[in-house]
Amino acid sequence: MKTENKEKNNDMISDLPDCVLLYILSLLNTKDAVQTCILSTRWKNLWKNLPTLRLNSTHLETFQSFAKFVYGILSLRDSTTSLHILDFHRSGIIWPSLLKKILKYAVSHNVQRLNINVSDVVSHLPSCLFSCQTLTSLNLSFKYATVLFPYALNLPALTNLSLKCLIFCAGDDGRVEPFSTLKLLNSLIIKYCKVRDAQNLCISSVTLVNLTMISCPYSFTEFKFELSTPCLLKFKFWGIPIQKLCGSNNNLYSTKHVDINVAMVLNSMDTPFLLLKWLAELANIESLIVSVLSIVPDLFKVEFPFLRNLKSLKVKLRDIELEQAVAMSQTEAVELGVAFDAEFEPFSFVPDGIIDFLIQNSPFVDVNIIDF
């Protein structure tokens, strides 16, 4: 009697309701979750109702075993159970047919959050992905910029979009405006992406609140972009300013928090002046994080009646990636496509007068120096 009671007490977790156990299993990699089927008959088919699939190739030795595992999961999982989250990571080669099957399965099972991270060359994605009616969060991350992003999206529920290494294709007018149909878009991240033929990317959204744009630090293929985002609150940019933010119409009055990291190795004499034009367009911001501006002739002679609402200024002394680029030999720099300047020295100090120039209209701003 005592032995039986002890055994029952040792398996109290199996007495928990399915919803609790499925929540716990959803936190695991799917391979580990499936292995719980050997615990007892209580667990044998539980994993088949998982609302979350986390498929990571690092947990399997070969691609063939990984592909077999994925096909098995998709075929054995309960087809009546909706798929809330799919997190797919593949380091190495991937069959186009496998990726296509995974994405079609996710869409057909009402996926809400989709995260795809692939390091192999991918030519295209199934069109059904960009017309999924249930998708609220989409993260597409590739190692190589070979995937063409569609002209228009039919994702009525999408609120969060993150894109890494995709190609935008401009129309005959040299512009591409892929986000205007996303009526609920709240957060957008664009990292290491390209616009074919270096045309203009128009980021148009009346609901967008958070925008992050990061360009490749070792690339000459900067493209122009234009913001039409009247509700934008936070803007983060790492790269080189090469044009005005909003074209002819300034609509960034709602933007309050800005983080700008300028690639000093790749910039030109015009970069500081372009950055000042950006700050003029962002005149109502309350907090600013900015990398050190290089001192060029006549910079302090520019009239700058802006940043009157600034409350916090953080100045970055240096950027690790850029210092590494400067430390390279000229041959290495050319191979990576970096504009090499043998006389360039990374800043380890804030040039005299630069902070006073930025806060001249905000005397009570809190100033901090960030040393990377």
- Classify the C-alpha dihedral 7-8-12-16 as positive or negative: positive
Question: What is the pTM assigned to this prediction?
Answer: 0.85
Q: How many other CB atoms sit within 10 Å of the CB of residue 162? A: 16
- CB neighbour list of residue 311: distance below 8 Å, 6 or more residues apart: 286, 287, 362, 364, 365, 366
- Say which amino acid occupies 114: L
pLDDT at 95: 87
3-class secondary structure, 368: strand
pLDDT, one tens digit per residue, over 26-51 is: 999 999 999 988 888 889 999 999 99
pLDDT at 294: 63
Rg (CA), the chain: 25
Token pair belonging to 306: 């802006």
Query: How far, rounded to the nearest angstrom, does the alpha carbon of residue 159 sit from its chain's CA centroid?
Result: 13
- The separation between the first and the last C-alpha atoms of the chain, rounded to the nearest angstrom, is 65
**Looking up tokens 């405006």, which residue turns up?**
177
CB 265 within 8 A of CB 338: yes
Q: How many other CB atoms sit within 10 Å of the CB of residue 327? A: 10
pLDDT at 220: 47
Q: What is the mean pLDDT of each run of 10 residues along the chain (372 residues)?
A: 51 85 91 88 91 88 88 94 94 88 96 94 88 97 88 94 91 82 97 81 94 74 81 92 71 92 65 84 92 69 87 76 44 43 48 84 88 66
pLDDT, one tens digit per residue, over 243-252 is: 778 765 678 8
- Helices (H), ranges, the chain: 2-10, 18-26, 30-34, 63-76, 96-108, 271-281, 320-327, 330-336, 354-358
pLDDT at 88: 94
Report angle CA 264, 268, 271 to the nearest 5 degrees.
Answer: 75
Phi, psi of 219 (to 5 degrees): -140, 145
d(C-alpha 331, C-alpha 338), whole Å: 10
pLDDT at 322: 46
Phi, psi of 202 (to 5 degrees): -100, 120
pLDDT at 273: 81
pLDDT at 10: 66
- Classify the C-alpha dihedral 190-207-283-348 as positive or negative: negative
Q: How many CA atoms lie within 13 A of 117 on its CB side?
A: 12
d(C-alpha 278, C-alpha 275), whole Å: 5
d(C-alpha 230, C-alpha 281), whole Å: 12
Return the percent helix, strand and coil in the chain, to nearest 5: 30, 25, 50
pLDDT at 156: 97
Q: How many other CB atoms sit within 10 Å of the CB of residue 37? A: 15
Buried b (16+ CB within 10 A) or exposed e, 210-237: bbbbbbbbbbeebbbbbbbbbebebbbb
